[in-house]
Structure 1
Amino acid sequence: MPYSRLDLRKLALMRCRNTLALRLKSPREPMGLTQEIVGDEQKSTVLTQTASDLFTKMKDRFLSFKKDKYLANIEHFKELAIAQEPKFMVIACADSRVCPSVVLGFQPGEAFVIRNIANLVPSYEVENILVVGHSCCGGIRALMSMEDEMNSSSFLHNWVVIGKNARSNTKAIASKLSFDEQCRHCEKESLHHSLLNLLTYPWIKNKVVEGQLLIHGGYYDFVDCTFEKWTLGYTKSSSMVHNQYCIKNREFWS
């Protein structure tokens, strides 16, 4: 059916309106995306700048170490490049507030340092093993917060479950204390169990029995800045294995 001039004008006007609507609409749709991209770029710039500042500080600390420690003791570091003979292995928590080298003043070559969640244990050939726990430990708090039948697929559960005996003992002994006090008790209880766990390694147990290796516990309270240290002593007897060990040489540094 042929269109009249009026019909053609109406069709043309409708097309113009549709085209204008599309033109007006199209820039609005990607606007949010554009803002998102700009926002992400700004965040990325801030993050990059923050990282840059952090590494600038790290570089300054490294150069300070090189000048004041490395170059000032170059002969010592040359000897370390050939061999090391540390007298300690220190096992401490990965918590950023607890740094054994800073707190106890260990210098390069003096100690193997192993850091993990809640200072749980393996070992090396040394004369002393020091396992260091600390106050306000997040790993121990997580251990004390766990349900008895927690999902075993949890990474944190699979790690801190090593301390389940310390948790059980704490629940039995300190059940009337507040949760914070229970956690503090468990922090020390888990240290004791970690020392005993070391003795499940036959070569470690043999060296302790023969007097060739000493095992120590340490507890750093960074709230009060105090340090407690003790040694797991061995006494030859015919009694059960767990009765052959005792705490001795306890010291409190404040």
Structure 2
Amino acid sequence: MPTSNLGKFIRGFERFRQDYFRGNTELFDKLRHGQDPDALVISCCDSRADPAIITNCAPGDLFVARDVANLVPPYEPDGGHHGVSASVEYAVLCLGVEHIVVLGHSQCGGIGALVDGGVHGAGGEFIGRWMSICQDEVRAVLEATEGEPDDTRRRACEQAAILVSLRNLMSFPWVRERVEAGRLCLHGWYFDIRRGELSVYAPEELAFRPLVSGEEHLRAPRQASATG
């Protein structure tokens, strides 16, 4: 059984406990009584796009749900196993978060599978069906961007998937209710791994724009929440 990486992780935990945990006793004393995160972040499983690191957040700041391609399925109360939907429900109804951020990123493997080979090219027992959530939108983007550079087309598909998730979030009745009442804001963010750049969806422009200040993300999302 391979152990080299596990050893790295264990040593990392030892450093965390010695330095971070013991150096932040007030924070962890507060956290042991419960959590009160500011936002739910729905992000990709990709190991290069950790939302807590990207946003420089501390434990307790974010409630995070990660899945392939940061997708949110539509509201389907059919009795099935719905991990992402359960996370959204818990964050909104139990924790009362005021923001939901859908955080996509460049070089997404799930989107790349659709771009390169269609939904069936994603393969596996589960991945293909999961990626079908944004299959139609990716196909439409590929048709609209035919002839453009591959990187441009893939980026457009990755950003389109974020908008699919925003739209599907609005299909949850208790999400829509809170958005329309001004109690919940939805945000679409895109992280460019190569450039280290974070962009926000600006609904008034129908485009993603680089964040230029730390406050901009607090202004744009509410309108983005109803974008489909």
TM-score of the two chains, using structure 2 as the length reference: 0.75
Question: How many residues get paired?
Answer: 193
How many Å separate the matches in 1 of 2:122 and 2:107? Answer: 24
Larger Rg: 1
Q: Does 1:61 align with 2:5?
A: no
Shift of 1:251: 4.3
Find 1:114's aligned residue among 65, 85, 93: 65
Q: Which amino acid aligns with 1:56?
A: G
Per the TM alignment, residue 221 of structure 1 is displaced from its structure 2 partner at its CA by 0.5
- In structure 1, what is the Cα distance between the partners aligned to 2:151 and 2:207? 27
Going from structure 1 to structure 2, the CA distance change for 1:249 and 1:163 (only over 3 Å counts) comes to closer
SS of 2:3's equivalent in the other structure is: helix
Equivalent residue, structure 1, for 2:170: 199
TM-superposed deviation, 1:136? 0.8
Contact residue 70 and residue 77 of structure 1 kept, 8 A: yes
The 5-angstrom pairing of residues 75-224 of structure 1 reads 75-121=26-72, 122=85, 123=88, 124-125=91-92, 126-147=97-118, 154-224=125-195
Bigger CA drift: 138-147 or 219-228? 138-147
1:89/1:112 contact within 8 Å kept: yes
- For residue 142 of structure 1, report the CA deviation from its aligned partner: 0.9
Deviates more, 1:150-159 or 1:54-63: 150-159
**8 Å Cα contact 1:90/1:111 also seen in 2:** yes
Higher helix share: 1
Amino acid at match of 2:112: R
Report the CA distance shift for 1:142/1:84 in structure 2 as closer, same or farther (over 3 A): same
Instruction: Tell me, yes or no, if the aligned pair for 1:93 and 1:119 is still in contact at 8 Å.
Output: yes
Q: CA deviation at 1:69?
A: 1.6
**1:249 & 1:224 partners in 2: Cα distance?**
15
User: Is 1:252 matched with 2:211?
Assistant: yes
Which stretch of structure 1 is more off in the superposition, 215-224 or 163-172? Answer: 163-172
In structure 2, how many angstroms separate the alpha carbons of the residues matched to 1:153 and 1:57?
A: 30
User: Which ranges in structure 2 are unaligned for 5 or more consecutive residues?
Assistant: 73-84, 214-228
Secondary structure at the aligned position of 1:85 is classed as: coil
Is the Cα contact below 8 Å between 1:144 and 1:167 reproduced in 2? yes
Structure 1 unaligned segments of length 5 or more: list them: 1-47, 234-245
Taking the aligned partners of 1:248 and 1:145, their CA distance within structure 2 comes to 24
Q: Deviations over 1:194-248 (max 9, x none)?
A: 1111000011011111100010111111111111124668xxxxxxxxxxxx869
Contact map agreement 1:80 1:109 (CA 8 A) in 2: yes
Kindly state the Cα deviation for residue 179 of structure 1 after the two structures are TM-superposed.
3.4
TM-score by length of 1: 0.68
1:214·1:231 contact (CA, 8 Å) conserved in 2?
no
After superposition, the C-alpha distances for 1:67-113 in whole angstroms (9 at most, x for unaligned) are: 22211112321221111100111111111111111111121111111
The residue identity in structure 2 corresponding to 1:74 is T
